[in-house]
Amino acid sequence: SSLRKFFVIGNWKMNVNKTRIDNIVKFMTAASLDPNTEAVVGCPSCYLSYARHHLPSEIGVAAQNCYKVPSGNFSGEISPAMIQDCGCEWVILGHPERRTIFNEPDELISEKVAHAQQAGMKVVACVCERKEDRDSNRTEEVLFRQMETLAASISDWSRVVVAFEALWASGTGILATPAQVQEVLAKLRYWLRHNVSQEVANATRIIYAGSVSSGNCQELAKLKDLDGFLVGSAALKPDIVDIINSRS
């Protein structure tokens, strides 16, 4: 829908250093990026200023996590205020690696989202489906529970992008079919319509994550309820340019 600007975020995870960032900046700057796509990179906290300083201003920079309060004795954490101080306005919250490897529960993610929103940040909020959820036909139940916890903490939906992570199709070599992706995205939009409002359901970008590549992005980009991608491994390669331009 023209109401929803196409949104692509390339998450670098813990896979960059200054040399690699320089290289990514080079190919992202050299390419012509579709102006109808909002492009963002997910950057490790120690390089937020560096990435912000080197990327063109049209490309947003996101932190990959943050804590739930502005400051205090929380060694190792960073706050939305600090991310903003580095010149960045986005944060990814609830990424499956945070949920699974670092055991972040829905409630903590929800508190982080609430604080990030209060601080005026834009949030990419992830909801995830594991292989065992799909295998046991609990997709809807699991995703709707995550949406419910998340929605309780959202004050400004215009500054939220919802990312659906098909964990069973991330780094596994198993690809989600376009029909499977559309089915889940439609369910999430239905949830927004019935639990938030028709306007929010119409205006909120819902993006897909899970082994998105230059090879599958164009077909997925045609899906009715798909408004973009959260990209992992392909974000480190020139493939991200094709993904940003997948609707061109």
Which of 91/209 has CB closer to ligand PEP? Answer: 209
- Selected range binding ligand PEP among 64-72, 73-81, 164-172, 185-193, rule: CB under 6 A: 164-172
- Does the active-site annotation cover 165? yes
Task: Write out the binding residues for ligand PEP, residues 166-195 only, by CB under 6 A.
Answer: 170-171
d(CA 52, CA 75): 24
Question: Does residue 228 touch ligand PEP according to CB under 6 A?
Answer: no
The helix or strand, by DSSP H or E, that contains position 180, with its residue range, turns out to be helix 178-195
Closest approach, Cβ 209 to ligand PEP, in A, equals: 4
Question: Does residue 211 touch ligand PEP according to CB under 6 A?
Answer: yes
- Selected range binding ligand PEP among 27-35, 79-87, 149-157, 204-212, rule: CB under 6 A: 204-212
Question: Does residue 44 touch ligand PEP according to CB under 6 A?
Answer: no
Chain centre distance of CA 64: 9
Six token digits for residue 205: 């970008």
H helices present in 76-177, as ranges: 80-85, 96-100, 106-118, 131-135, 139-151
Question: Does residue 216 touch ligand PEP according to CB under 6 A?
Answer: no
- Selected range binding ligand PEP among 58-66, 108-116, 192-200, 206-214, rule: CB under 6 A: 206-214
Question: Does residue 161 touch ligand PEP according to CB under 6 A?
Answer: no
3-state secondary structure (DSSP) of residue 60: strand
d(CA 60, CA 41): 6
Backbone φ and ψ for 30, nearest 5 degrees, come out as: -70, -30
d(CA 241, CA 228): 13
The helix or strand, by DSSP H or E, that contains position 126, with its residue range, turns out to be strand 122-129
- Selected range binding ligand PEP among 21-29, 129-137, 163-171, 220-228, rule: CB under 6 A: 163-171
Q: Which of 4, 6, 7, 11 binds ligand PEP (CB under 6 A)?
A: 11
Question: Does residue 215 touch ligand PEP according to CB under 6 A?
Answer: no
Question: Does residue 233 touch ligand PEP according to CB under 6 A?
Answer: yes
3-state secondary structure (DSSP) of residue 157: helix
Which of the following is catalytic: 38, 104, 129, 165? Answer: 165
d(CA 139, CA 93): 20
Q: Return the active site residues.
A: 95, 165
Interface residues with ligand PEP (CB under 6 A) are 11, 165, 170-171, 209-212, 230-234
